[in-house]
Chain A
Amino acid sequence: MQHGSDNALVGDMLRRHGVSRRAFIKFCTAAASAMALQPWMGPAMAEQLRLAPRPSVVYLSFQECTGCFESFTRSFAPTIENLIFNVISLDYDDTLMAAAGDAADTALTQAMKANFGKYVLIIDGSVPTGAGGAYCTAGGKSAVETLREAAKGAAVIICVGTCSSFGGIPFADPNPTDAWPVTAIVGDKPIINVSGCPPIPEVITGTLLQYVTTGRLPDLDEHRRPKAFFGNTIHDRCYRRPFYDEGKFAKSFDDEGARNGWCLYELGCKGPTTYNACATVKWNGGTSFPIESGHGCIGCSEPGFWDKGSLYSALSTAEWEKSGNSSPRQVLELSAGAVAVGGVIGVASAGAGRLRQYRSEHPLDVEQEEG
């Protein structure tokens, strides 16, 4: 189990804040529901969490758009306030913290030193390695350096978003900054990928809460994503699935089929090959999800989604299938292994070589895309 900087248990914190047992059971029931856990786990989770130490959390942002962090702060159940005040000790986050400049750098160093080996490291954004890492530099340190240093004392790394999980948009062809996902830089730490562009807020907080509750990694899929959220495809749980089974498809975005809420498969919906919880957890506090708003899934939680062809071509067309055979996972695994035995400086040059090799073996399809 992890200990926060003040070594307080979650239960102590709740008492201090006057949170009643019933309010906390309710919080955990809502969280279990949002996390798609069995509903009777809510009360059990409440009991376990009371005795769990509050972990120190360090949140670092690299080459990203802050969309993931925006998503994180809009979590509905559990709310971010509830998490920060009661369950975790958010010791460094450059977007939320009041400190700036040297004071912020000092806060980061202190948090890492005080909780060495115990803190949860959250990474948002890909890691650019081109030009010696110069594309993403803060306080004179490149993202590669900061990541490797912060990873040393982390108990676990949670990659929030498709950029830190799989490289995301910066990694997409032609990848001008030679960006890589965290798994390509850090090879010797437990890593959980919470992908999505952005990920569903409840999936981010739920993964964190699950880790704090059990002190263990959750069950992960082949892309290191928690199975609790990424175990089903969007298509498996889609409310429009009966229309797919009946062969009723919208043919354009304003035809009769679209207006009747039929399946969006032929309009390019990537639901059948995309693993995520949008169809069940939904967005904006369970209000809806893209398909419910009439747009197909774009597959944003899958590796290499941006390079897999048009978002508006049906999955049955060749583009998606072709690039689907060359899973970026393969190159990521290769790179993770290679980097684990290499040094920081090696990352930039070796990264470019690996990427070139990957590209020549698996040509991407963006050039052939009609737009």
Chain B
Amino acid sequence: MSRLNDIPIRIEPPARTGGLGGGVTAILSELANLLVEVAKGGAPTSVDLRSLPMSPQDRTELQSALGTGEVRATLDADGLSSLRETSVSGIWWIEHRNREGELIAELIEVTPVPQILQSIADDMATSARELRERITAGAPRFIEGSEHATRQ
């Protein structure tokens, strides 16, 4: 055995035969299948990146294989979330962070647009009522207010 100080501390990546790692290829194939289903009108779906045993190398490979697309959205709800479409249409890379900026969920969503970005009918109906109240009460005092400030 070599002398202790001669041994570098490193995490050896699993043996590769060239090309993408087995795990990455499996995820990409699954995404391709899901994309076909969603394109045919199937329900949007997602893959939880945290539940997959991925090495940092796998992660980098997956990210570069999917690339960066045209849309990037930031959600400001109890911490910032980043939602960006990859260069593969319909594949979104989503990172949810808490108020401290820590990553609390990371997933790939296969969908025309992530559900959490869409406004829903219930909220819109409530907002319509609130908007009328603002009109009645005189609009100026609401102009500066944020959404949260007006929803007391």
Contacts and interface: CB of A to CB of B under 8 A. Distances in A.
Interface string B104-121: 111100000001100010
Interface residues of A, number: 41
A261 B10 CA distance: 7
B120 A256 contact: no
Nearest to B100: A285
B1 A255 contact: yes
Given A20-B77, A43-B115, A33 B7 contact: no
Contacts, number: 102
A127 B107 CA distance: 42
B53 A22 contact: no
B130 to A, nearest CB: 13
Interface residues of B, number: 42
Contact of B9 (A23, A25, A36, A259): A259
Contacts of B151: 18
Given A43-B116, A259-B7, A286-B103, A239 B78 contact: no
A27 interface: yes
Nearest to B96: A26
A260 interface: yes
B53 A256 contact: no
A295 interface: no
A30 interface: yes
Interface in A6-64: 18-23, 25-27, 29-30, 32-34, 36, 38-40, 42-43
22 contacts: A18-B151, A18-B152, A20-B77, A23-B78, A26-B75, A26-B77, A26-B78, A33-B51, A33-B106, A36-B48, A38-B48, A39-B47, A42-B105, A43-B116, A77-B98, A79-B98, A246-B15, A255-B1, A256-B2, A260-B12, A280-B50, A286-B50
Lowest 9 CB-CB distances: which A-B pairs, in order? Answer: A23-B77, A23-B78, A30-B104, A242-B14, A39-B48, A261-B11, A30-B105, A22-B77, A33-B105
